[in-house]
Each structure stands twice: as structure tokens, then as C-alpha cells.
Structure 1
């Protein structure tokens, strides 16, 4: 499994000829390093509806004629925009062609911006993605919560993407504990340095991970690692 980071919380995951993108906030993020038209995937996965995660999902899904997989209410909103969708919910899993998705808890909020209003977009979630015999956990936007320990006990997590920005999600201290509870072998810090108020030192966070025996990857947009 190859994991490529495209800024903020966006990752492209590839294995055995299949590829999916999670939270494709690209055109609105000057640090993404890639344009939506250059994304070629079999599915788009969303953790929740906020614009810095929803991003370019509609454009990418239409261009690739692929589904958007999301929690039910968010999937229905995407369907209303003229794309294929597959609605799921927290705790549920589903096998697709070449990969499996399971939604986990995430403690945050979720809504879609429509004009001057915000539309409820269902519960936020984390995503357990299994491809090519490996499992990648994208925590989405979340606070630290005790059931992360249970997620780690129930699943062999080869790598995890954890938010460290603080203010809107957990910060580095809580993310370090989350990494240990999840028993993740490798960790990609996400959701930091994109906006004011969420500035963090990703390299320092990864140094602290290494002290706990966990390999951290403070990637720049466009960089990858494999598991």
C-alpha cells in the first residue's frame, strides 16, 4: 500500500491497481500541490462534510465516474449534486472492488456549506481502509476518545493519519496518546499548518512518536510512504 499526502487531511491510497482519495481538499488549498483534474481514482472517501475535507469531491467523482463513499446524510447530499454515492454509517463496513471500508467514531461536527447556511451532514467518522492486505486508519477530524484503544485492539493498523492541529481537533499531546492506543506502526500527522490557529511542528511530533517506537512521517504535499 502506497500513501501519498496532498496537504491538510487529504491522502491518496493505492494498492494492487486500485486507488482511492480521502478528503480531497485541493483547489482551495494552495499547499496541496495537485489539481483535481490530475486525480485518477476508483472512489472518493469522506470523513465529514466540512469544506476543508469535502473539497473537490464532486468534481473528482464526476471526472472519474466513481462513487463518493460517506456517512448516509453526506452521501445523500452528494447524490443531489449528480454523482454516484454509497451511503454508510458509523460501525458499518462494506467491501468494494479491491478495497474495504469501515466507519468508526470521530468526535467532531459535520455540515456542508450551502450559500449562507450550513446543512447537517450526518455524523463525522474515521475510516478504516483495507487494501492489498494492509489497513490504513484515517481518523478524520476528532478529539481524543477512549474507544481509540478499542479500535487498536480490534484491528491491526499498519498506518494511521492523525490530526495534530489543535483548536479544531486534537493537538500533538492527544494525538501521541491516540497513536499508542491505536497501536499504529506508522503515523502521518495531518490537519495542521493549513490555516492560522492550527500551526504545529510535524517533525517534532514525529520525533516524539519515535521515542514511543512509532515511525512518523511529516510529509510535504506530494510525498509518499509505503506499508
Structure 2
């Protein structure tokens, strides 16, 4: 399974013959520049954790050029369905088996609304079970005790956690989150894009290392394989 960091909280996940795109925010990200082009993104499915502009900005353009299906909470799914896109609605605690594997929609503590003011439902994250791996995609979230429920059902191979602080967990809380989900391999995201969420990369890695954990910080367009 190959995971490519597309900047901010945007990810491409490829395995077997499937490509998943998570929270596409490309054209509005000043750090991406020409590193990623929308025309090159051809996902089979788009996963959306919540409705904020820095997570859904490029959904319509990408989905318009493909036959992909949008997976998110009920309110977000209905928002895009009304625009003519194919969707699959979910809600907290629910799971569904897709052609690529299984998704469970889990709790996130944050807010969720579209740029036009439309209510975006309750934010969430996903546990992806596919290609023999289990990956937790936390979305934008605070540290929450609900994370302790995840290892009761899944043995995680990777936890993808926000680490930028201010709007989400910061570095120290992300370490606690990795404890809660019982996963020592972490991919950090949702950092550096804006002034509010700039981090000290060296300090972040040292903090995780002292806790006996491995923090990956990928450059835009860089990939890791699990």
C-alpha cells in the first residue's frame, strides 16, 4: 500500500487496482505550487473527513473528471449528491465493505461546515482495512478518549494524525493519541500550511522518538509504503 502526501491533510492511497483520495485541498494550498496537478489525480473513491474548505476545495473538479464515488458523513454526501455526484453516506460507528476493502467511520472532535455556510454534519475519521493493512486516518481532531476504542477492533499498521496544533491536536497530544490507538508508526499531517499550524520538525520527531515511536513527515508528493 502506497501513501502519498499531497500537502496539508490531502493524501493519495494506492493498493492493488484501487486509488483513494483523502480530503483534496490542492489548488488553494500555497505550498503545493506546481508539485501536484489535479488532472493527474484519478481516484476511484474520495474520502472526506469533514466539510471545511481546506479539506473539500477540489472535490468537485476532481470528481467531475472521473467516475469516482465520494464517501463521507450523511450531510456531506447529500451535499454532493445534490450536485449530481455519486456518493456513499456513512455515520459514526458504521462500517461498509467497498470493492477496495472496508471502512469504519469513527469519531473526531472538531467542527464542520462548507464555505457557503451549509452544515457539514459531525466530523469524523476513517479506519481503512484493505490489502491486509489497517490504517487510521484521524481527520481534524482533538485528542479524545474515543480513540481507545480503535485498538479493541483493529491492530493498526499506521496512524495518520494531525500535529499542527491550534485547530487540532499538537505534537504532544498526537503522541498520546498514538498511545490510545496503540500504534507506534505515525504519519503526521495538517501542519505548516498556514501560520497558525507551523511546527518545528526536529522537535516533533524527537518528541515521538523519546516516546519510542516513529514519526514520518513527508514532503509534498513524497510517498511511503506499508
- Range into which the TM-score falls when normalised by the shorter chain: over 0.9
**1:14-53 alignment to 2 at 5 Å?**
14-32=14-32, 33-53=35-55
8 Å CA contact retained: 2:191, 2:199: yes
8 Å CA contact retained: 1:37, 1:60: yes
After superposition, the C-alpha distances for 1:18-54 in whole angstroms (9 at most, x for unaligned) are 1101001011112232121110111000000000011
Task: Output the TM-score relative to the length of structure 2.
Answer: 0.95
Distance 1:55 1:184 in 2: 30
Distance 1:184 1:224 in 2: 19
Runs of 4+ in 1 over 4 A off after TM superposition: none
| Equivalent position SS for 1:64 | coil
1:202/1:103 Cα in 2 relative to 1: closer, same or farther (>3 Å)? farther
Distance 2:23 2:209 in 1: 27
Q: Cα distance, 1:161 vs. partner?
A: 1.1
Distance 1:177 1:111 in 2: 28
Q: CA RMSD in A?
A: 1.2
Indicate the residue corresponding to 1:13 in structure 2.
Answer: 13
Q: Cα distance, 1:8 vs. partner?
A: 0.4
Distance 2:28 2:101 in 1: 28
Mean CA deviation greater in 174-183 or 41-50: 174-183
Distance 1:105 1:12 in 2: 22
Distance 2:206 2:15 in 1: 28
| Equivalent position SS for 2:106 | strand
Task: Output the TM-score relative to the length of structure 1.
Answer: 0.95
Q: Cα distance, 1:206 vs. partner?
A: 2.4
